[in-house]
Structure 1
Amino acid sequence: MDDRSRHTHTDWEAVVLAARERARSRQTLMIERFGLSGDVQYDWSMDDARITWSRDGEVFLTGRLTMIGSVSLTQQTWLWSWANDALPHAVLGDIERVRQYGEQNHYPVLPWRGFDHHPDLVTEARTVAAAVLDAEGLWSEYMDEAQLHFMIHDLARTSRHSK
C-alpha cells in the first residue's frame, strides 16, 4: 500500500490512543491477575510460539506468543514479523491480519514491510497490532543486536495453580 492520500493522521492518532489505553489496562490486569512480578522467571520459544512463567522452578502459567516485529539495533530499522521469512511459522500467529487492517483502513505504517526505527512509531505499531489481535499483553526481549516484540495470548494457569 502506498496510497498516502487516503491516510488521515487524525484517524491514526485516535486508533493509537485507544490502543494505548487498552494495552495499558490489559498489561496491568495481566500482571496483577497472574502474579507476574517479583521472583518470576520465564522461558519462551519462537519455534512453538509458547511462553511459560515459573516460580521456584515450578511452572504456574503458560501462554501463546505472536511476534509483532523486530528492531535491528545496528541498522536502526523496524521489520514486521509478517515480512520476515526467517521466522518459524508458529510465532506469526494471525499477524497477517494486522497488515490487512492497515491496508483496509489506510494506516500506512501497518502494511509497510519495515521503516526507520523511531521508538514512538514502534510503540504505536505494536500497541495497534495488539488491539487488532486482541492480545492479553505485550512483551519485549533483547537478543544480540535486535529487540524483539511479541503479543501474549491464551494465558492459562497450570492445573496445579488453577483458581
Structure 2
Amino acid sequence: MDDRSKHDHSGWEAVVLAARERARSRQALMVERFGLSGDVAYDWSIDDARITWSREGKVFLTGRLTVIGSVSVAQQTWLWSWANESLPQAALGDIERVRRFGEENGFPVLPWPGFTSHLELVAEARMVAASVLDAEGLWVEPTDDVQLHFTIHDLVLAAGGE
C-alpha cells in the first residue's frame, strides 16, 4: 500500500480502542495468573522464539514470542518485523496477518514497512498487532540502540510450576 492518503481514521480509532482494552485486560490477567511480578527473572531467545520465566533459578513458565517490530533509538523509527530481513523466520510467527489486516481494512500504518516512532502510534500499532495475533501479552525489551517489541503466546506452566 503506497498511497498514504488512504486511511479510515474513525475505523482505526475504533480498532485501537478495542485493542487497547483487550491488551490491558489480557496483560493484567497474564501477570496475575502466572505471578509475573516481584522476584521473577526471565530469559528470551529470538532464534527459537521462546521466553521463560523463573524464580530462584527454577523455570516455572514458558511461552512463544512473535517479534512484531522494533524502534531504532537513534533514528526514532519503527520497523515492522515482517520488513526486517535480519530476523529469523521462527521469530516472525504470524506477523503477516497484521500486514494483511491493515491492507484489507484501510489502516496503512500496518502495511507500511516502517514509520517515525511517535510514542502513541507505536503503542497503537503494538496493541492492534496483539489483538490481530490473539496474543496473551505484550513484551518490550529495551537496549541502548533498539527496543524490541514482542507478543506472547502459548503460555505453559513448567512441571512443578506455580
Matched letter for residue 84 of structure 1: N
Counterpart in the other structure of 2:17: 17
Structure 2 Cα separation of the partners of residues 105 and 131 of structure 1: 14
Partner of 2:111: 111
Q: Which residue of 1 aligns with 2:58?
A: 58
For residues 3 and 88 of structure 2, the distance between their equivalents in structure 1, rounded to whole angstroms, comes to 31
TM-score normalised by structure 1 residue count: 0.97
How far off its partner does 1:4 sit?
4.5
C-alpha separation in 2, matches of 1:142 and 1:4: 29
Q: Secondary structure at the match of 1:60?
A: strand
Alignment match, 1:141: 141
**Shift in Å, 1:3:** 3.7
Q: Which residue of 1 aligns with 2:150?
A: 150
The CA RMSD over aligned residues, in Å, is: 1.0
For residue 6 of structure 1, report the CA deviation from its aligned partner.
4.4
Does residue 97 (structure 1) correspond to residue 104 (structure 2)? The answer is no
Q: CA deviation at 1:143?
A: 2.0
SS of 2:148's partner is strand
Query: Quick one: distance in 2 between partners of 1:59 and 1:92?
Result: 24
Tell me what 2:37 maps to.
37
- Contact (CA 8 Å) 1:44, 1:50: kept in 2 or not? yes
Tell me the distance in 2 between the aligned counterparts of 1:17 and 1:122: 14
Q: 1:2: Cα distance to partner?
A: 2.7
Per-residue Cα deviation, 1:26-49 (whole angstroms, up to 9, x for no partner): 000000000000000000000000
**Offset at 1:144?**
3.0
Secondary structure of the structure 2 residue equivalent to 1:71: strand
- Paired residue type of 1:78: W
Equivalent residue, structure 1, for 2:78: 78
- Structure 2 spans left out of the alignment, 5+ residues: none
Q: Give the deviation of 1:161 after TM superposition.
A: 1.9
8 A Cα contact 2:61 2:158, kept in partner: yes
Alpha-carbon shift at residue 160 of structure 1 (Å): 1.3
Structure 1 stretches of at least 4 aligned residues deviating more than 3 Å after TM superposition: 3-6
Q: Could you tell me the percent identity over the aligned residues?
A: 73
Q: Supply the distance in 2 between the matched residues of 1:47 and 1:134 (Cα, whole angstroms).
A: 22
Query: How many residues align structurally?
Result: 162
Residues in 2 aligned to 1:6 and 1:109: alpha-carbon distance in whole angstroms: 10
Specify the code of the residue in structure 2 equivalent to 1:142: P
Q: Is the 2:67–2:81 Cα contact (8 Å) retained in structure 1?
A: yes
Q: State the match for 1:125 in structure 2.
A: 125
In structure 2, the residue matched to 1:49 is 49
1:23 is aligned with what amino acid? A
> Using the alignment, how far apart are the partners of 1:6 and 1:116 within structure 2?
18
Structure 1 residue ranges without an equivalent (≥5) = none
